[in-house]
Structure 1
């Protein structure tokens, strides 16, 4: 997301100005909610942090929840964009690369990660629906990686994703972003047990 617009006259189009303002508001919402939580964050907090007017905010969002959903969509887009498992190697090697990238993405964007992992619980059913859609996308990627076809194998993929989400959420609740990378090895070991069986 972009920073503040240059002061004085500039060559930006109206659409570019609106886009930059929107990006600042989404970033501001994510950062404010990371600090104060969804319930504790007000529209005034977002406006002040983004450096925009109240009128500008309401030109783009009807209320705080609409801004949150837009910020959540941006977070989901970033998480979904990091790609899936590596195209080569064994299924477990590809999964290992996938998890390493996923944890690195969360660590690099802690405010957006908290929005996705924690604040969705307070933001209502629409926010939770979008979160669950992304989790299902991860389940599908893992099932494809391990060629999981049976109902039992698919359930193992769902259980694995549920475990991963729980583990990374706990790190953010404990404000231990640095501890994310330490989860990689035990998560890969869990995937080995669940999806490859006894060796």
Structure 2
């Protein structure tokens, strides 16, 4: 029997945690968080309830960890999509397009995550603010490379506005078409940064798009 602190034991623990998060994503996306039971999650993951409780205090804790993990994955896509050397307006629009396309790739899961997080009380609010702050920090890092353009307060406001656009699209049943929000999301950032909206055709750039 492997000691609990051995590399093999750590690998097995990490694998179990990942399987539980994946199972939570699948079950909750299909049934909704309220109807999701720990029994259904462990059955989907192929582990025991004891294993579940070794990783998570309860169902909500597992969901919040899933929310963090899904948000971190989307943020990685956002960061990896930055095109260094281009004007910040173009960088932000391109990155937001990639971010929204990433969310749209899992419409059922994203709908569940974006809606259910509002129903988890103070803990849910804390994790949601944590994730929004990460996104706001990304905007500040991307936009303010040459000097202060966007303030921290306006960065948080921009993230809040974009999340509201996403929620409205989800409520309209358009979670799979979130990438279409890119021009509007980009306009929110430009306005809050005090930058002019794109107009006409730009050299070496895309044609004018409605916002």
Q: Provide the TM-score with structure 2 as the length reference.
A: 0.75
Q: Taking structure 1 as reference, are residues 14 and 140 closer, same or farther at Cα in structure 2, changes over 3 Å only?
A: closer
Specify the alignment match of 2:122 in structure 1: 125
Give the RMSD, CA atoms, in angstroms.
2.7
**What does residue 185 of structure 2 align with?**
187
CA distance in 1, matches of 2:95, 2:47: 38
Shift of 1:181: 1.1
Q: Check whether the contact 2:60–2:120 (CA below 8 A) recurs between aligned residues.
A: yes
CA contact (8 A) 1:30 1:111 kept: no
Rounded to whole Å, the distance in 1 between the matches of 2:108 and 2:122 is 21
Shift of 1:96: 0.9
Alpha-carbon contact 2:78-2:96 (below 8 Å) kept: no
CA distances 1:80-128 after superposition (whole Å, capped 9, x unpaired)? 3224343221111011111012112212344553454222112232232
Q: Cα deviation per residue 1:133-183 (whole Å; 9 max; x = unaligned)?
A: 121222222234333748x84443332211110111223334423221111
The number of aligned residues is 187
TM-score (norm 1): 0.79
Does the CA-based 8 Å contact 2:136-2:159 persist in structure 1?
Answer: yes
What are structure 1's unaligned runs of at least 5 residues?
A: 1-11
Aligned mate of 2:154, from 145, 153, 156: 156
| Equivalent residue runs for 1:8-157 within 5 Å | 13-84=8-79, 85-110=82-107, 112-114=109-111, 116-147=113-144, 149=148, 153-157=151-155
Distance 1:128 1:94, change over 3 A: same
Cα pair distance change 1:14/1:146, threshold 3 Å: closer
Q: For the residues of structure 1 that align with 2:178 and 2:23, how far apart are their CA atoms?
A: 24
More helix by share: 1
* Unpaired runs of at least 5, structure 2: 1-6, 199-211
CA contact (8 A) 1:95 1:188 kept: yes
> C-alpha separation between the residues in 1 aligned to 2:171 and 2:76?
24
Offset at 1:45? 1.9
Deviation at 1:41, TM superposition (A): 1.5
